[in-house]
Each structure stands twice: as C-alpha cells, then as structure tokens.
Structure 1
C-alpha cells in the first residue's frame, strides 16, 4: 500500500454515505452523482458531486497526520533561523473551517480561487465544499515555455496575497491551477498572521523551487524580480535548504541562492 494512502487512512462507506445524504439535503439535490478522485494527498478524501461541487472529507486520521506534518514544518522553519509559523488544528472541523476562511479571504482580495460554499461537520468528519473547477491543468502539467510565461503572474498573485497580510503556506505545483488562461490558488494552509515577513519569504522560496527545475534558476529569479525588490528576494534564501528537504520539491538550491544574490547585487 502506498504510504500516503496508509497515512490518510480510509473513511467507512457508511460514513461517506451519510455525508452525501447531508449534501443532498443541504443543496436540494434529487439525483446525486459522486466521483471520487485519485488525489495524491494525505489530508482528505476528495470527491466531486454532480460536476458542480468539489468536496473534501476530512477524518480524525487526516487531522492527526496534519498535526505531524505541521510539527515537521515548524522544526524545518526553526532550522532556517526563525521560529515555526505553521498553525495546527485539533479537529477535522477546524481544518475545513480554516480552508474555507482562507479561500474566502483570498477571493476577497481579488485572487482566483474556487468559490467557497460550505464547511460543516457530519458524524465527526469535516466537510469542505468548494466550487468545482473542470478542465484545469496544474503547473507541473504545463510545458516549460508555458510555465515561464505564467511565472510573473504567479509572483504577482503572491505579492497581492502578501500585501493583504495573507500567505499560502503550502505552495506546490499541484496547488496552482491553470484554467481558461487564468491561474488559481488552492489548498492554502494556516500560518501565523503576525509573521507575514517570514511567511512571504517562504512562499517566494516555494515558488522559485517550483520553477527552477523547469525554467532554470536565472529565469526563475528574473521572473520574481519583475515583482519583488532586492531585499525581499534575498529573504527567500534562508528557506531554500528547508524546502529542498521536502519530498514535494526537487530543485537546485545552490543555483537559486547564487542567482538571488546576483539579482540583489544588480538592484542594490
């Protein structure tokens, strides 16, 4: 069994049926079609209802795994020279309520995100309901040239997020979608609202880590420099080694650090 499937666990069918019945009652659905998604994640059982609602079902097991991952991330942040800034949740309901609120805030500042619809609890399970976005591609599905074309837009979106005192906190290629020529953020995690300078630097470092293997370090940094000043660019350096240790990022941190320092020198 895949380690992610083992960690995520499985939700009993009778409990899933209760969630589906609750959704049908809440949204007056007579015919309900459920498609479960083969998503490679640790933290929910995702499905689509009637090609209209994207639903995450979060169990107690998911919440426990989230707590373990959060502890690891905070240790990694500490190793980068700062206190941990990732928040953890004790219950499935807290997890879905946070993602609902984070998505709502991002939408409120003008960023493209799926429309948040609902967050509630059914039989100990957290249930998050978002607008379903069909026909999208994630960043890792784009051609290299296409990815480079959208890189400045990615950094523009991050700057908007940070200018409003928000952060994504879990920026990976699969958490940025391209649909109808527009980029969308999904799956924001919870970070300390009082630590925006560190969380902004972390988001920036994650974005560079996404781009570097596909565009090269220089083009990735040039794209970031079209949006960020030299001081902000340099702030991303301290998180590169920590991010490189994560299994969802593979990139050359040495090359990125070198290009960041060169760009900062040019702009100083």
Structure 2
C-alpha cells in the first residue's frame, strides 16, 4: 500500500455505495457505473461515474490530514519571511465546497477547468462533482519540445488567475492537464483572502508562491533558463524576485524535485539585466 493511500485512508464500502446512490438519484439515473481511480491524491477518494462525472469523496480523515499539511506549509511560508497564508478546512464538506467555488471562480476568469457541478454531503462525507475529462495528459507526460511551447501558456494562465485575485496554492505537474489541446487547472487549495471589498483577492505572497511552484515544475522538464525565459514573458522582474524567496520552501516539499540553485541564478540574472517581462 502506498504512503498516500495509507494517509488518505479508506472510505467504507457502504458509504461509497451511498454516494453512488445519491449521485444516481440527483441526476435521474436508475443505476450508475462507478470506476475508482488510483489517483495521486492525498485528500480524497476519486471516482468516475458513468464516464460523465468526476467525483471526489472527502472523509473526515482527509480533512484532518489536510489540516496537518496546512500547518507544515505555513511553517515553510514563515521560513520565507512571510505570514502563513494557507487555510485549513472545518471539515470534509467545506473542502468539497471550497474546490467547487475555486473552480467556478477560475472558470469565470476565463481559465480552462473541468466544469463544476455541485458539492453535497452524504453520511458525513463531502462529495464534489465535476465534469469528467476522459482523455488528457499531465504536463510532465509531454516531450521537452512540447513543454517549451506550453510554458508561456502556463505562465499566461497563471498571470490571468492572479489578475483576477486568485491563487492556485498547489501547483504541481499533475495539476496541469492537457485536454483537447487546451491547458487545464485542477485541485486548487485554500489560501487566505484579504479582507474588505476594496482589497478583494488573495495575498500577494500566495501568488509569488504559485509562481515559484510553476518554475519548480518546469525546471526539471526544460531547464532553469528556459523556465525563467518563459516566465519573463508574463511576469515582471519584481514578481520573479518575490517568487525566488519561496524556492527553498518549495524544494523541501516531497512532490517537487528541482534545482533551486539553478533557478535562483537565472532569476537573479534576469533581475540584473533589468529587462521588462
């Protein structure tokens, strides 16, 4: 059994059957066919229903593990000299509702995401229902040449997200999909928002962290120089230097493996040139 599966835990079969019955009833089906996915996911049990809906089943253990991860992530943010901006969830239903709302907001901003359907509760479980994308590749499935072509598109989409006051919070290669030749985001996590209508949107350090994660994703795939060159097409030097401060934190995460020193050198070189992004 993988570490992720152990940490994620197992939802009892009767509870999963109850979820399937609820989905069938909500969408007017007498019965549904369910396929469980061995997805690389710490925080839910993913399943596909009738090849039409992608469902995440979130348990109390998932919510608890997320809170532990949130605490560790905030310690990492403190190490970068910023106040922690990751937020925990009150429970599994809130986790499902947050991802639904985050996906809706990204879609409204013009970003490609699976169509959000709804979130609801079944026997204490949070259930998120979204469009199922039957055929896709993750970013690291592509060839180096294809990734180099896609890199400016990734940074452009990230810039759009930030301009709309959003942050992804968990940008990894497996959370960037290519479906029908379009780039999609999935699995946004919860980051603190600034208070007040005039300051709507997430904290700028959360956006700098996003950028650092995107650079960390691309460095092992296309190299530090190409990654920074693509980022400079969309982001200003000041934004790149803010991302630099999070590289050491991102480097200690188990789901990122990249050359932080090489990226830091390329970012500092870009800053010394003083060229606009």
TM > 0.5: yes
Aligned twin of 2:139: 139
Map 1:1-268 to 2 at 5 A.
Answer: 1-194=1-194, 195-267=202-274
1:31 positional shift: 3.4
Indicate the RMSD between aligned Cα atoms, in angstroms. 0.8
Q: Does the 8 A contact of 1:43 with 1:66 survive in 2?
A: yes
The alignment's TM-score, normalised by the length of structure 1, stands at: 0.98
Q: Which runs of 5+ in 1 are unaligned?
A: none
Q: Which runs of 5+ in 2 are unaligned?
A: 195-201
Distance of 2:32 and 2:52 partners within structure 1: 11
The alignment's TM-score, normalised by the length of structure 2, stands at: 0.95
1:3 positional shift: 1.4
SS at match of 1:169: coil
Q: Deviations over 1:119-166 (max 9, x none)?
A: 000000000000001110001111111111100000000100000110
Distance of 2:203 and 2:60 partners within structure 1: 29
SS at match of 1:236: helix
Q: Does the 8 A contact of 1:162 with 1:196 survive in 2?
A: no
Q: Deviations over 1:8-28 (max 9, x none)?
A: 110110010011000100000
1:189 positional shift: 0.3
Q: Does the 8 A contact of 1:221 with 1:256 survive in 2?
A: yes
SS at match of 2:178: strand
1:2 positional shift: 1.8
Aligned length: 268
Distance of 2:219 and 2:84 partners within structure 1: 25
